[in-house]
A = this chain, B = another copy of it.
Amino acid sequence: MTFELTILGSSSATPAFNRNPSAQLLNINEKYYLIDCGEATQNQLNRFRIRSHRIDHIFITHLHGDHYLGLIGLLSSLHLAGREKPLDVFGPPELLEIINIQLKYSQTTLRFELLFHAIDATQSALIYENNDITVNTIILNHRIPCTGFLFTEKPRKRKVNMEKVAEYGIPAEYIPLLKLGNDYEDVKQQRVISNAELTSSPIPPRSFAYCSDTLYNESFLHQIKGVSILYHEATFLHELLPRAEETFHTTALQAGQLAQKAEVGKLIIGHFSARYKELNTLLEESKTAFDNSYLAIEGLRFTV
């Protein structure tokens, strides 16, 4: 199953050095999920030739402009391009008011149904699931209510060893049960063949956690423990820790430390301050705590 992340924007607060504000696209099993939608995200989608009409779910972390100002333009373009299928938008309750007031004054009635899901930023919850994944909120600690998102693959079925199945003469009808972990009860020969003998463990579910924006925060460590990829903001170098704390942001060192404590597979840092033209110092700092660190560079595609 495809599970890919494309970086669309990595700048904090304001566009700088051709870096756009926050936006990332997940392709999970050929379904597109957009996370955050800073200004000009639709231009980024065009630039990287990602067809925006394939996006069916949009998740907005919070109401700072660099995380949602591109949403109205994207909705408007989808409308003008003739979209008819519903679009699910998850975000802070007030986002709906912001959308509606702009549709109202432009006298626009969207051709498609906008299914808005208000997020409660005070406690983590399962906010979405389908056959492929679950999406849970992660409660972040920012200047205004803000939630991250944890995308987790549903557990896969066990792998059946077909040679063993043949050896024990197990009828084909039982295979779905074996995949679910059941033992096989051979009534004729009055024996039980344990599932462990007939199957092997599937690949563990992959997962992606998106954490932006937040003060360094271990309260959600249990949620990101062992995730395949953690995206975590790293707005500043650690030498600016007081500034990070004052603005409810994280330093590159802290992001690395959190990734190390959470034993994640890979860390991607982003949401870079406009003061950094060159980003390698941020990467190097993160790597001192967690070696498998990467920069969120626009256009990069990570396989989860």
Contacts and interface: CB of A to CB of B under 8 A. Distances in A.
Given A81-B14, A97-B101, A106 B76 contact: no
**On chain A, which size bracket covers the interface?**
20 to 34
A65 B102 contact: yes
A106 B101 CA distance: 16
Contacts of A73: 14, 39, 65-66, 69
Interface string A44-60: 00100000000000000
Nearest to A71: B69
A223 to B, nearest CB: 26
Contact of A65 (B40, B43, B65, B106): B106
Interface string A67-78: 001101100110
A98 interface: yes
Given A101-B97, A106-B64, A143-B107, A76 B14 contact: yes
B76 A65 contact: yes
A213 to B, nearest CB: 12
Contacts of A69: 39, 69, 72-73
Contact of A63 (B66, B80, B105): B105
A107 B43 CA distance: 27
A64 B43 CA distance: 18
Contacts of A97: 101, 105
12 contacts: A13-B76, A14-B76, A14-B77, A14-B80, A15-B46, A15-B77, A39-B39, A39-B42, A63-B105, A65-B76, A101-B101, A107-B144
A92 interface: yes
A92 B14 CA distance: 26
Interface string A123-157: 00000000000000000000110000000000000
Given A15-B42, A63-B102, A65-B102, 13 more contacts: A13-B80, A14-B42, A39-B39, A39-B69, A39-B70, A40-B43, A63-B106, A64-B106, A65-B72, A65-B73, A66-B76, A97-B101, A107-B143
Contacts of A14: 42, 73, 76-77, 80-81
A65 to B, nearest CB: 5
Contacts of A98: 101-102, 105
